[in-house]
Every structure is written in structure tokens, then in C-alpha cells.
Amino acid sequence: MHLDLLHDLRTQHGRTSIVAFAPRGEVLLVGASKATTLWAISAGQRPSLRATVRPGRGPSSVTTAGFHPLSPVLATNGGRFSIASFWECGPTSGLSPIVTYPWSDKRAAIARGEAGAAFVLAFRPGTTTLATGHTGGTVRLWDASMPSQPCELDQLRVTAAYVDALAFSPDGTVLAVADHVGHVNIWHYASVHAFIPVYTSSVATGRASYLTFSFDGRLFAANTFLDVAVWDSGTASTQPTARLTRMPGVRTGMARAVAFHPRLPVLACGDVQGAVSLWDLSDSAHPRLVAVIPVHHRPVTTLSFHPSGGILAVGCRDGMTALWAFAEA
């Protein structure tokens, strides 16, 4: 397995915080510290810029985003006061604002005594359910079938004061939530409005800012300050099945982002040294490091595979965003 550079999408919009492909892969969102860009993706062609927007108010950024599984709608969150917004999006029409949610405003939420600002979000695959992670240790579940009028379905609680990351399994039956003190909480989907807590695992090396599930939902991974923890969801153990290091005694370089391939048991890990490590997790108890590819001289901050699996989007601290061709052999 290896990566080959396809396109450099560098802009002047500051640090790249999030890259995300639409469900069919025709659109790539790049969230940065000063603005968000939307790119049309076509096979064999250079990506074309479709929109540049500055969501929220004040110094704006998008730190997390999710594409609606059932409609051309994008949910974003970020900015100085963590403003969450819904946008109508398309490969040719760009981004058109639908609504900005007051419940996501940190100052307004504190004034009302509600769950604090939303920092992370994710759509449940194949549904209109949106999960948002808040200050105060709250995960809120929303029915986003009508983005202009979201309906709250439920609230989940973690022990820490902040929710740092969350992710659904590909079939939507499991929700993983990482909190600020290094716990990864697992809930199983029970009904339309309920999740049943399964277990809480402690990530020994601290908080995780990224969670990702394998294509079959069997594995999920979290980055830590020093390495990457991998769990097998089919076991009852709360301990990671594996801790990924480049070689004995050599950590992954303080992994900043992780992403599973959409068709293969392959995990990509981006680190502070500007490299992407590719791991074969066919045998999760004995992971195999396949390649370490230097992609930049600054830390990798975000990763996302194209739904086809043939492209890996990589974002870095200095604003470099690039598309890399992924080859299995």
C-alpha cells in the first residue's frame, strides 16, 4: 500500500481543521481557521472550487462537519462561539445557509442554563439523526429531517465536562463518544429514541480528538497523545485490542487524526511529524505497519477517505490540504 500526491488544494484560509467527503464523494469540504471551502470532485480532473464561506460570527472556522446521509445538506460547527449551522450544498451550487442554531452559541447556552456549546457532531448513517457533543458532558440527539426546525430526541451524559469526539458505526447501531479525561463511552442503539450504554473504556494516554470505525463496524480506533488505540467491538473487553506504534519503542509521533479505509481493514494515522502511517488490521491483535509516507513538514490535523477508497484527503496545521491517491499494492 502506498500514497501518491494528486492535487494540492492549499488556500490562504489558515489551519485546516476538518476535511470531509460527501456520501457519494462528489464534494469535499475543507474547514479552516478563517474560512470553509467546498470543492467539486470528478475522476481524472483537478478539483474545482465551488464555494468559500465564513460560517458563524466573529473570527470564523469550521472545526467539525457532517454531510446529511439522505439529502444535500451539510452541518457545520465552529467559530469563536461554536456556532452550528445547516447549509444546502451541491457540487455546482456551493453553500446556501439554511439556519444557524442558537442552542449552539456558547454564550447564549450558558445564559439559559442549557447544555453548553457544541464542539463535535456526526450524522447517524442512513437516518436523519444528528448527534452533537457539548460542554457539560452532554451528547444531544436531534431529528434533522427538517433542518430549519430540529427536534431534540434524547440526551446522553458522560462523566467529563467536555465531549471531544464522537462517531457512529457504519450500520448506525453503535455510538462511540470520547470525553476530555480520556474515556471512550460506547452506546448501542436500542430504539428510535434510545441508546443503551454498553461500557466505558479508559484511554491510558489521555483524551482522544478523533474516533473512527472500520467499514464493517468490527473495529474502532482513537488517537491519543502518544499512539493510536484500537478496540474490537465484538469483544466484551474494555481494554484496547492493540496500541499502534511504528516499531518497538517508537510511537506514531503523537497521532492527530485517524481514518479507516471504506472497504479494507486499513487504518491511516496522521501525526505531528507530517507523516501518514498505513496499518493493516486484518488481524487486529497483531496489526502490521505497511508504510509511513511523509506528506508535509507540518503536523497532520485531519484525514478523510473518499467513499471509493481511492483517495485520501490530508489537512495540515499550516493550511496545506492535499489529495493523495491510495493504492493497495
Residue 281 pLDDT exceeds 90: yes
Residue pair 116/107 in contact by the 8 Å Cβ criterion: no
Higher pLDDT, 64 or 204: 64
Span 223-247, average pLDDT: 77
Most confident of 42-56, 100-114, 313-327: 313-327
- Across 15-29, 157-171, 240-254, 268-282, least confident range: 240-254
Angle at 28 between CA 25 and CA 34, to 5 degrees: 165
| Percentage of the chain lying above the pLDDT 90 cut | 18
Q: How crowded is residue 88: how many other Cβ atoms within 10 Å of its Cβ?
A: 16
Residue pair 203/183 in contact by the 8 Å Cβ criterion: yes
How far is Cα 29 from Cα 80, in angstroms, rounded to an integer? 20
Confidence bin at 249 (pLDDT 50/70/90): very low
Span 75-90, average pLDDT: 70
How far is Cα 74 from Cα 240, in angstroms, rounded to an integer? 33
- Which distant-in-sequence residues (6+ apart) come within 8 Å of 280 by Cβ? 1, 265, 266, 287, 288, 290
Residue pair 229/239 in contact by the 8 Å Cβ criterion: no
Please tell me the predicted confidence (pLDDT) of residue 145: 86
Please tell me the predicted confidence (pLDDT) of residue 224: 78
Q: How crowded is residue 243: how many other Cβ atoms within 10 Å of its Cβ?
A: 18
**Residue range 103-159, pLDDT digits in tens:** 454 555 555 545 455 678 899 998 888 888 877 788 888 888 887 788 888 888 887
Residue pair 167/220 in contact by the 8 Å Cβ criterion: yes
- Which distant-in-sequence residues (6+ apart) come within 8 Å of 156 by Cβ? 138, 139, 141, 175, 177, 185, 187, 195, 197
Span 255-277, average pLDDT: 90
